[in-house]
Amino acid sequence: MKYEAVIFDLDGVICHTDKYHFQAWKALADKLGIYFDETINNRLRGVSRMESLEIILERYDGTLTDEEKTRYADEKNDIYKELLKQMSPADLSPEVKDTLDQLRARGVKLAIGSSSKNARFILGQIGLGDYFDAISDGNNITNSKPDPEVFVKAAEFLGIPAGKCLVVEDAEAGIQAATAGGMDSAAMGDAARYHIATYDMDSFADLLNIV
Ligand code: BG6
Ligand code: MG
């Protein structure tokens, strides 16, 4: 076995919350008269909530105080959390669940490394509330991806050295974070287009050949 642990990004890897992030940011952008599309939304992958707001505000013709920014970020999060209530165990694909179960059966430790402060809520919605051996998320970090902190913390929570961990990511910033933390990485979706990870995956089950 090449790796003792696998650290999974959540949004875009274990489940797909992108459309809800998009809808919630779009509602806020429309309210502020800011242009926002899927391409800009792609830049928000792996990036913290406040940094995401700053990216959206690049197209804003005014200035906002820090207080206003916090209020708008909260407003987006309220819309987002309302949308997340629709999620259920049906949003966890059989392929993802089966692959996780097979990795666990081999004795591999499984963790989450997500920039999201809603990670535990989302895991609960899809029926994985108690599943992972460790959860490192937006609530226990000060620097978000591409800083390695979220993955370094996940490895610490598991008690496994970085060199024995594999990170699975769909964001370019996430692959950069894994590399900066001294970890190998496997890229899915958007991140696989950049060919900067240790492995590029076609499907989630590819992990069974990598680990
Ligand atoms: C990441 C998403 O998982 O979490 C980002 O890829 C998002 O798009 C970030 O901005 C922060 O999420 P939250 O739920 O704390 O607003
Ligand atoms: Mg992601």
pLDDT in tens, 170-183: 999 999 999 999 99
Say which ligand is closest to the CA of 46.
Answer: 1
190 pLDDT tier (thresholds 50, 70, 90): confident
Neighbours of 44 (CB within 10 A): 23
> What is the dihedral angle through the alpha carbons of 180, 184, 190, 194, rounded to the nearest 10 degrees?
70
Residues with CB under 6 Å of ligand 1 are 10-11, 21, 44-49, 52, 77, 114-118, 138
> Residue 100 and residue 180: Cα distance in Å, rounded?
25
- Residues 11/21, Cβ–Cβ less than 8 Å: yes
- Residues 9/167, Cβ–Cβ less than 8 Å: yes
> Residue 5 and residue 77: Cα distance in Å, rounded?
31
- In the residue annotation, 9 being an active-site residue is answered as yes
Identify the pLDDT of residue 176.
97
Mutate to test the pocket of ligand 1, among 52, 150, 176 (most ligand atoms within 8 A of CB): 52
Task: State how far Cα 193 lies from the chain centre.
Answer: 17
Q: Which domains does the chain have, with CATH numbers?
A: 5-15+89-210 (3.40.50.1000), 18-84 (1.10.150.240)
Say what angle helices 49-57 and 66-84 make with each other, to 10 degrees: 110
122 pLDDT tier (thresholds 50, 70, 90): very high
Tokens standing for residue 133: 């051996």
Please report where in the chains the tokens 């509330």 appear, as a residue. 129
Neighbours of 173 (CB within 10 A): 21
86 pLDDT tier (thresholds 50, 70, 90): very high
Task: Report the side by side order of strands in the sheet with 165-169.
Answer: 134-136, 109-113, 5-8, 165-169, 184-187, 199-200
pTM: 0.95
pLDDT (tens digit per residue) in 128-167 = 999 999 999 999 999 999 999 999 999 999 999 999 999 9
> Residue 104 and residue 122: Cα distance in Å, rounded?
21
87 pLDDT tier (thresholds 50, 70, 90): very high
Neighbours of 39 (CB within 10 A): 7
pLDDT (tens digit per residue) in 44-64 = 998 999 999 999 999 999 999
Identify the pLDDT of residue 1.
80
pLDDT (tens digit per residue) in 4-34 = 999 999 999 999 999 999 999 999 999 999 9
